[in-house]
Amino acid sequence: MPADRDRPPRPRPLHRYGQNHLVDRRVLDAILRQAAVRPDEVVLEVGAADGLLTRPLLERARTVHAFEVDRRYASRLERLAAGAPGLRVHLEDALKARLGELDPQPTALVANLAYNIAIPLVMTTVAQVPSIRRWAIMVQKELGERLFAVPGTKAYAAVSVLTQFNCELERARPVARSAFRPRPNVESAFVSFARRVAASDGTWLVGTQPLDRDGYAVVERLVRRAFAQRRKQLATSLAGADPGAPSVPAPAGEGAAPVTSGVGAAPSGGHTIGRADVARALEAVSASPTARPEELDPERWLAFARALGWLATS
């Protein structure tokens, strides 16, 4: 691969792409250790720019799918790819790409993510790219906190519940603003987490509650509808909800493309929710009849969905 000294100066960062480039080599070394990429892995990197992170990933992984929407970096990445058989360059928006159809399929996402794509990309890859088993991502600190926030906190949101349905936190480490150029106005964090291990039948456990991909897609509708009106009691926000209806649009910064595998019809026994249904289900999971969405942890959300009849009983 070409040496760093052979590269021309990096283009001026563009605000519309949320570009804050990592420039501190000590931080780069630390996040590579935390990412712990194995030689047999296929890495998805989004926001490759001129390849500062791409290069060491290529030294560690079997293949790297490097996405970059800013075509000013095209020649640099193509030049890098010419000397690196394991690099696949994708000059497109990763949020519009068919990530589940990449060949070979990615097993890990390692990236320095811009604010405007971080949560949508995480939610899309969690829900739609089951081959990815691990995430190691640089994000704004408040977004990293939101992913694994605990119930009852301001940060706890739909994305917290939906991420924790599928994944478990490994480690989050703060990263100083001085590690980036241009220097951002907010703190950052490097967060690593792993997908929950599924059994041979495709189910996994969230606490004691079993879940599979189809079940996730159904309960996602419930969670998104509730948190879209998070200040309201569940009996109010969920009244009239239908398990077979399209998902409620996610709030800004929490988007994910709809899951389509095996989903569309309401589950067996599904029905439109009434206030009395919500009250009975909350009582069944020992929650207050006036509970709001942020009061239920992920395991209790699944128990609540089963008590409503939206998910099959375990």
Q: Predicted confidence band at 186 (pLDDT cuts at 50, 70, 90)?
A: confident
> Can you give the pTM of this predicted structure?
0.87
The tokens 């041979």 sit on which residue? Answer: 200
Mean pLDDT, residues 113-141 taken together = 96
Residues 70 and 140 in one domain: yes
| pLDDT score of 260 | 34
| pLDDT score of 173 | 95
Residues 146 and 25 in one domain: yes
Q: Do 277 and 308 form a contact (C-beta atoms < 8 A)?
A: yes
Residues 85 and 231 in one domain: no
Instruction: Give the span between the Cα atoms of 302 and 222, in whole angstroms.
Output: 10
pLDDT tens-place string over residues 89-115: 999 999 999 999 999 999 999 999 998
Could you say which of 173, 195, 217 is where a domain stops?
195
Could you say which of 156, 172, 195 is where a domain stops?
195
| pLDDT score of 22 | 82
Residue 42 is assigned to a structural domain of this protein: yes
State the CATH number of the domain containing residue 265: 1.10.8.100
Residues 157 and 121 in one domain: yes
pLDDT tens-place string over residues 205-248: 999 999 999 999 999 999 999 999 999 999 999 998 887 666 66
Instruction: Give the span between the Cα atoms of 299 and 157, in whole angstroms.
Output: 15
| pLDDT score of 143 | 95
Tokens of 169: 């936190």
Q: Does residue 22 or residue 278 have the better pLDDT?
A: 278
Residues 127 and 9 in one domain: yes
Q: Predicted confidence band at 262 (pLDDT cuts at 50, 70, 90)?
A: very low
Residues 112 and 247 in one domain: no
Residues 97 and 49 in one domain: yes
What's the whole-number average pLDDT of the chain? 88
State the CATH number of the domain containing residue 90: 3.40.50.150
Residue 313 is assigned to a structural domain of this protein: no
Determine which of 9-23, 190-204, 259-273 has the lowest per-residue pLDDT on average.
259-273
Residue 303 is assigned to a structural domain of this protein: yes
| pLDDT score of 268 | 41
Q: Do 79 and 1 form a contact (C-beta atoms < 8 A)?
A: no
Instruction: Give the span between the Cα atoms of 231 and 227, in whole angstroms.
Output: 8
Query: Based on the structure, what is the number of domains in the chain?
Result: 2
169: which strand partners?
193
Residues 252 and 280 in one domain: yes
Domain that includes residue 242, residue range: 204-308
Q: Predicted confidence band at 266 (pLDDT cuts at 50, 70, 90)?
A: very low
Q: Do 126 and 167 form a contact (C-beta atoms < 8 A)?
A: yes
Instruction: Give the span between the Cα atoms of 5 and 90, in whole angstroms.
Output: 24
Residues 22 and 139 in one domain: yes
